[in-house]
């Protein structure tokens, strides 16, 4: 057995390779946190870096202070090629988010905050690196920032003071025991890294392209994100990716060269702005952090944005209304604004189509002519109104409009409406015939189309000589809707000089007496003086037809047979020979029969209004008998008669038939010679009592009883025939009435 053991030991010695001595600077001290961290000053750490192309076993290696006199800590483990080795004092929370390669007590009571001479020796006791700061630390700081001391060039001696710098406070990595960022770069490239070692890469990577491009819009909601770098990246760089808002479920994949990162996510939300950030945690395979702005230095983060497609079109425009005129070649369009997304928001633009043929569907819409405009849509729900100038005057055009949103989504085909383009730049209202020898008030409008009145232009309206007098008292003028008093009147000429008007000039004339004779197209001449070129007559100056009154209609048309003292309201219509109502007809009134001498009119002269009618009040005499008014219009004469009843009497209700939908009440007039007990009942055709209108004593004289058509339960009666029974004293009177709806 002893012989066998001897042979085994001998063979092991024969075939075990001898330990090879490491060369100086094969492993270097690259970073020293000699002051610890804020609030954790004993949390010191030292980092080693391997600039060679091979991993190195550090078993048996050690760090010393005092130039090699005092052991700081023994090492074990392997440092990878181009990799880092983190040595933490005390516990592994010194750098809380990065595991230490060696954790333990630092001999010699830790690192001094003033000076140290640190030596790295291999397992054979050879000095591999030395940082002689016995005269004071080359870089780094204590309170308040606790910057680490970082080596610039791993291939330059560690005791060269200019080879060191403090962390820049921007390029950082790792957290302290309180989860606060460390002003240092444990297990990452130093902020001042500038290697002269053969094969070392100190150039930070950059993003060369993204898909979607930054600022792109209309991106599909199912799209992936692709980020391309200029060199191979550490695949752990996916931690540097973030997106807001985050659709969730990030799935990362790299191409074969580790230069292109594809990120698959849940579907995006439509019409949403997304912001993608690639932070400086993204590093190339040599640990260089991302250069986000392309200036050749690490940082800042690379950020790009894109907007997903808006897939919701505006609502269809279904309430388009087209109106004729008002000016030459003009048409007015009105509709309710729709939104960007359906009925919400604000659309981007409108597509306005017109045609002389009906626009029946999308095909006809596309084939119709596009009306060129630059209108800015209002927010959904607001009223849109625009005045269009069409190619031809007096032409029937069909119109339809579609809305477009900012993603070029177009609304569905909506409604179609038509209008006739104006064939005159002037107009007059009301559009009704005037009665010869009458009196009217007319509004004359000149719609400014082109050219505009720009301050040195004038306008004139000339009234026909056969009409009544014109004075400032019966003229009013507006320019673009604002009152203007600077006009002058000379004879029958109304002139506004040196005015500004962009849309309309309006003259309200009246009351003015109408000429005495009938005439078609009596012209009120309009003139303009543009830029001092002299007054020129406006084509299509407005005209009015003057007609002779031919018919008088009176309502009530028959004797209403009211009680004495009743006030009648009488309506009179004046028509020409073609049964057209006449505006401004003069009606003279004269009482010709007056039983008691106290009948009265509220006026002796009235004029028909724009509806062609006029009203007057006629109070009957207090004595019974026939009351009469002579109604005269020019050469026409008609008589209105109301015979006031005598004695105890009840009149037929008025109106009769009683229309419940048109008349609020119907009225009964009761006249009593003496005070008496009165009963007034209404019965249906079945003889059933439906309403007691009055029961009690009425004094001597005339009384008016009103009825709203309801029964004794305050419910409206059905249409039909009803009977009224009037009992006074020992006498009874019965008559029939009708209710309609």
Residue 253: pLDDT band with limits 50, 70, 90: very high
Which residues neighbour 406 within 8 Å (Cβ) at sequence distance 6 or greater? 310, 340, 348
Query: What would the mean pLDDT of 359-380 be, rounded to a whole number?
Result: 97
Residue 539 in this model has a pLDDT that exceeds 50: yes
The CA distance from 386 to 283, in Å, is 60
**Confidence band for 338, pLDDT divided at 50, 70 and 90:** very high
Fold of 207-308: Immunoglobulin-like (2.60.40)
State residue 456's pLDDT score.
Answer: 92
Residues linked to residue 28 through DSSP beta bridges, in sequence order: 49
- What is the predicted pLDDT for the residue at 718? 95
d(CA 411, CA 315): 6
Q: Which residue has the tokens 């983190």?
A: 86
CA separation, residue 143 to residues 114, 120, 147, 166 (Å): 13, 27, 9, 13
- Coil, helix or strand at residue 236: helix
pLDDT of residue 185: 96
Q: How far is CA 295 from the centre of its chain?
A: 42
Tokens of 588: 């003279």
pLDDT at 12: 36
Length reported for the chain: 741
Q: What is the average pLDDT across 152-156?
A: 92
**What b/e sequence results for 249-260 when a residue is b if at least 16 CB atoms lie within 10 Å of its CB, and e otherwise?**
eeeeeeeeebbb
The model's confidence at residue 198, banded by pLDDT at 50, 70 and 90, is low
How far apart (Å, rounded) are the C-alpha atoms in residues 656 and 653?
A: 6
- Cβ burial of 348 (10 Å; 0-12, 13-18, 19+) is middle
Q: With cut-offs at 50, 70 and 90, classify the pLDDT of residue 724.
A: very high
pLDDT per position as a tens digit, 674-695: 889 999 999 999 999 999 999 9
Residue 14's pLDDT is what?
Answer: 33
Encoding tokens for residue 688?
């059933």
Which residues have a Cβ under 8 Å from the Cβ of 534 and sit 6 or more positions away?
Answer: none
What pLDDT is stored for residue 8 in this prediction? 33
Q: Minimal CA–CA distance to 368: which of 383, 351, 382, 380?
A: 351
Largest alpha-carbon pair distance within the chain?
169
Q: Which pLDDT score is estimated for 6? A: 32
Tell me the mean pLDDT in the region 26-44: 94
In terms of Cα–Cα distance, which of 404, 277, 268, 415 is closest to 334? 415
Residue 111 pLDDT: 95
| Burial of 363 (C-beta count, 10 Å sphere; 0-12/13-18/19+) | exposed
Structure confidence by residue, pLDDT tens digits, 472-486: 999 999 999 999 999
Highest mean pLDDT among 78-82, 108-112, 537-541: 78-82
Between 158 and 450, residue with greater pLDDT: 158
What pLDDT does residue 673 have? 77
Cα–Cα distances in Å, from 620 out to 202, 446, 570, 649? 117, 49, 12, 16
Q: Residue 200 — very low, low, confident or very high, per pLDDT cuts 50/70/90?
A: low
Asked: is 28-166 a CATH 2.60.40 domain? The reply is: yes
Residue 406: band (very low, low, confident or very high) from pLDDT cuts 50, 70, 90: confident
- Rounded to two decimals, what is the model's pTM? 0.40
The two beta strands, 613-619 and 207-211, are unpaired
pLDDT for residue 145 is more than 50 = yes
Q: Per-residue confidence at 650, pLDDT binned at 50, 70, 90?
A: confident
Matching residue, tokens 């037809």: 545
User: Residues 582-604: pLDDT tens digits?
Assistant: 999 999 999 999 999 999 999 99
- For residue 280, pLDDT over 60 is answered with yes
Domain residue ranges in the chain: 28-166, 207-308, 321-420, 441-538, 551-644, 649-740
Tokens found for residue 273: 């702005």
The yes-or-no verdict on residue 702 having pLDDT over 90 is no
Q: Does domain 321-420 have CATH number 2.60.40.10?
A: yes
Q: Give the strands of the sheet with 241-244, arranged side by side.
A: 216-219, 302-308, 273-278, 241-244
pLDDT (tens digit per residue) in 296-310: 999 999 999 999 988
Sheet holding 396-404, edge to edge: 369-370, 349-355, 396-404, 417-420
- Find all residues with CB under 8 Å of 376, minimum gap 6, and list them: none
Q: Are 541 and 518 in contact (CB under 8 A)?
A: no
- pLDDT tens digits for range 471-530: 999 999 999 999 999 999 999 999 999 999 988 999 999 999 999 999 999 999 999 998
Mean pLDDT of 80-109: 93
C-alpha distance from residue 634 to each of 482, 516, 517, 599 (Å):
39, 10, 11, 25
* Count helices and strands in the chain by DSSP H and E runs: 2, 57
392 burial level (CB within 10 Å; 0-12, 13-18, 19+): exposed
Q: Could you give the CA distance from residue 693 to residue 665 in angstroms, rounded to a whole number?
A: 13
Q: How many CA atoms lie within 13 A of 483 on its CB side?
A: 3
Q: Please identify which residue in the block is written with the tokens 């009840």.
A: 650
Q: Is there a shared CATH topology between the 321-420 domain and the 649-740 domain?
A: yes
Give yes or no for a contact between 301 and 244, defined as CB atoms under 8 angstroms apart: no
Q: Which tens digits make up the pLDDT trace of 158-197?
A: 999 999 999 999 999 999 999 999 999 999 999 998 887 7
Please report which helix (H) or strand (E) contains residue 626, including its range.
Answer: strand 625-633
Q: What is the pLDDT of residue 532?
A: 84
Please give the Cα distance from 366 to 64 (Å, whole number).
Answer: 87
Q: Kindly report whether the peptide bond that precedes residue 212 is cis, defined as omega within 30 degrees of 0.
A: yes
Percentage of the chain exceeding pLDDT 90: 76
Q: Average of pLDDT values for 538-554?
A: 93
CA 302 to chain centre: 34
pLDDT at 4: 34
β-partners of residue 328 are: 422
Which of the four pLDDT bands, split at 50, 70 and 90, describes residue 288?
confident
* Per-residue pLDDT, 615: 98
More confident residue, 12 or 617: 617
Torsion of CA 188, 144, 181, 90, to 10 degrees: 70
Contacts of residue 17, defined as CB under 8 A and 6 or more positions apart, other chains included, come to: none
- Candidates 429, 424, 460, 425; CA nearest to 442 is 429
Lowest mean pLDDT among 4-8, 82-86, 432-436: 4-8
Span 551-644 CATH architecture: Sandwich (2.60)
State phi, psi for 3 to the nearest 5 degrees.
-65, -40
Q: Is the pLDDT of residue 433 over 80?
A: yes
Banded pLDDT at 2 (limits 50, 70, 90)? very low
- Is residue 634 scored above 50 in pLDDT? yes
Predicted confidence at residue 213, as pLDDT, reads: 96
The CATH number that domain 441-538 falls under is 2.60.40.740
Taking the C-alpha atoms of residue 678 and residue 731, their distance in angstroms, rounded to an integer, is 10
Please provide the average confidence, as pLDDT, over all residues in the chain.
91
Kindly report each contact of residues 19-24 with a partner whose C-beta sits within 8 Å and lies 24 or more positions away, as own/partner: 19/123, 19/124, 21/122, 21/124, 21/126, 22/56, 22/122, 22/126, 22/128, 23/128, 24/126, 24/127, 24/128, 24/129
Q: How confident is the model at residue 648 (pLDDT cuts 50, 70, 90)?
A: confident
- Nearest-CA neighbor of 45 among 168, 173, 191? 173
Residue 199 pLDDT grade (very low, low, confident, very high; cuts 50, 70, 90): low
What fold is seen in the domain 649-740? Immunoglobulin-like (2.60.40)
CB 664 within 8 A of CB 708: yes
In terms of C-beta density within 10 A (0-12 exposed, 13-18 middle, 19 or more buried), how is residue 71 classed?
A: middle
Average pLDDT of the segment spanning 558-585: 93
With a cut of 70, say whether residue 64 has pLDDT above it: yes
Radius of gyration (Cα) for the chain, nearest Å?
Answer: 52
């Amino acid at each position: 057995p002893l012989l066998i053991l001897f042979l085994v030991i001998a063979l092991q010695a024969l075939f075990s390779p001898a330990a090879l001595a490491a060369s100086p600077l094969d492993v270097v001290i690259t970073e020293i946190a000699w002051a610890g961290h804020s609030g954790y000053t004993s949390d010191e750490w030292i980092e080693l870096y391997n600039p060679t192309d091979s991993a190195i076993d550090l078993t048996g290696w050690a760090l010393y202070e005092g130039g090699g006199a005092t052991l700081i800590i023994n090492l074990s483990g392997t440092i990878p090629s181009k990799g880092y080795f983190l040595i933490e004092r005390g516990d592994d929370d010194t750098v809380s988010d990065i595991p230490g390669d060696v954790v333990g007590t630092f001999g010699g009571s830790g690192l001094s905050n003033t000076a140290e001479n640190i030596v790295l020796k291999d397992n054979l006791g050879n000095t591999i690196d030395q940082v002689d700061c016995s005269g004071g630390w080359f870089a780094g700081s204590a309170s308040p920032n606790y910057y680490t001391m970082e080596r610039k060039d791993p291939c330059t001696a560690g005791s060269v003071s200019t080879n060191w710098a403090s962390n820049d406070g921007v390029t950082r990595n790792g957290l302290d025991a309180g989860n606060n960022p460390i002003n240092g770069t444990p297990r990452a490239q130093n902020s001042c890294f500038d290697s002269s070692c053969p094969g070392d890469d100190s150039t930070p990577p950059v993003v060369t392209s993204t898909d979607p491009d930054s600022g792109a819009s209309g991106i599909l909601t199912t799209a992936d994100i692709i980020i391309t770098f200029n060199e191979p990246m550490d695949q752990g760089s996916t931690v540097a990716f973030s997106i807001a808002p985050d659709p969730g479920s990030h799935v990362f994949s790299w191409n074969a060269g580790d230069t292109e990162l594809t990120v698959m996510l849940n579907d995006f939300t439509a019409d949403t702005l997304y912001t993608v950030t690639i932070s400086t945690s993204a590093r190339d395979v040599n640990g260089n952090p991302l250069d986000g702005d392309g200036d050749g230095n690490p940082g800042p983060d690379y950020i790009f944005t894109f907007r997903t497609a808006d897939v919701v079109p505006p609502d269809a425009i279904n309430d388009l209304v087209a109106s004729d005129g008002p000016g030459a070649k003009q048409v007015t369009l009105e509709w309710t604004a729709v939104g960007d997304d359906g009925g919400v928001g604000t659309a981007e633009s409108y597509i306005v189509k017109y045609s002389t043929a009906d626009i029946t569907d999308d095909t006809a819409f596309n084939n119709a002519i596009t009306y060129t405009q630059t209108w800015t849509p209002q927010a959904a729900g607001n009223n849109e109104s625009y005045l269009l100038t069409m190619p031809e005057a007096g032409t029937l055009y069909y119109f339809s409009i579609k809305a477009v949103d900012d993603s070029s989504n177009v609304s569905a085909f909506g409604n179609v409406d038509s209008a006739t383009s104006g064939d005159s730049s002037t107009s007059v209202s009301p559009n009704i015939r005037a009665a010869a020898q009458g009196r009217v008030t007319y509004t004359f409008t000149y719609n400014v189309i082109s050219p505009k009145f720009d301050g040195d232009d004038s306008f004139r309206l000339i009234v026909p000589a056969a009409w009544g007098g014109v004075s400032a008292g019966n003229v009013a003028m507006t320019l673009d809707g604002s009152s203007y008093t600077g006009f002058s009147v000379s004879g029958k000429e109304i002139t506004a000089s040196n005015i500004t008007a962009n849309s309309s000039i309006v003259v309200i004339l009246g009351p003015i007496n109408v000429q005495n004779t009938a005439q078609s197209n009596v012209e009120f001449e309009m003139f303009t003086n543009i830029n001092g070129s002299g007054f020129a007559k406006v084509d299509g100056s407005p005209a009015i037809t003057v007609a002779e009154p031919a018919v008088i209609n009176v309502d009530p048309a028959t004797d209403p047979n009211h009680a004495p003292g009743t006030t009648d309201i009488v309506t009179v219509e004046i028509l020409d020979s073609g049964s057209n109502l006449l505006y401004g007809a003069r009606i003279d009134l004269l009482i010709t029969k007056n039983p008691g001498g106290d009948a009265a009119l509220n006026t002796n002269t009235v004029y028909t209004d724009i509806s062609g009618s006029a009203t007057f009040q006629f109070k009957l005499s207090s004595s019974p008998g026939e009351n009469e008014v002579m109604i005269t219009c020019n050469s026409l004469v008609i008589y209105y008669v109301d015979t006031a009843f005598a004695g105890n009497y009840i009149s037929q209700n008025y109106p009769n038939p009683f229309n419940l939908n048109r008349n609020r009440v119907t009225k009964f007039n009761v006249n009593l010679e003496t005070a008496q007990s009165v009963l007034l009942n209404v019965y249906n055709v079945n003889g059933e009592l439906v309403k007691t209108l009055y029961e009690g004593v009425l004094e001597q004289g005339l009384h008016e009883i009103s009825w709203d058509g309801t029964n004794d339960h305050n419910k409206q009666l059905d249409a039909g025939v009803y009977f009224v029974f009037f009992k006074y004293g020992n006498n009874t009177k019965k008559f029939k009435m009708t209710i309609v709806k």
